[in-house]
Amino acid sequence: MHEFAAQELKPGQVFSRKDAVRWFADHYPDIKSNTVGLHVDGMSVNSPNVGITPR
């Protein structure tokens, strides 16, 4: 995720889950899109999914 941010983002820039998933698909095709999406949600400050733990 650090590599994605360093290569693709400027300070304060907003990105979507889709942006990160696409970048990882191009650079790390063995990583599942769901894994990337969950990490984006976990690091997000405004995702409705933050703090939800599956039971």
Residues, the chain: 55
Task: Give me the mean pLDDT over the 1-22 stretch.
Answer: 92
| Angstrom distance (rounded) from CA 25 to CA 49 | 22
User: Taking the complete model, does pTM exceed 0.85, yes or no?
Assistant: no
Answer yes or no: is pLDDT of 9 > 60.
yes
Report whether pLDDT(55) > 70: no
10 Å CB burial of residue 41 (0-12, 13-18, 19+) is middle
55, 43 contact by CB (below 8 A) = no
How far apart, in whole angstroms, are the C-alpha atoms of residue 8 and residue 18? 13
**How far is it, in rounded angstroms, from Cα 4 to Cα 6?**
6
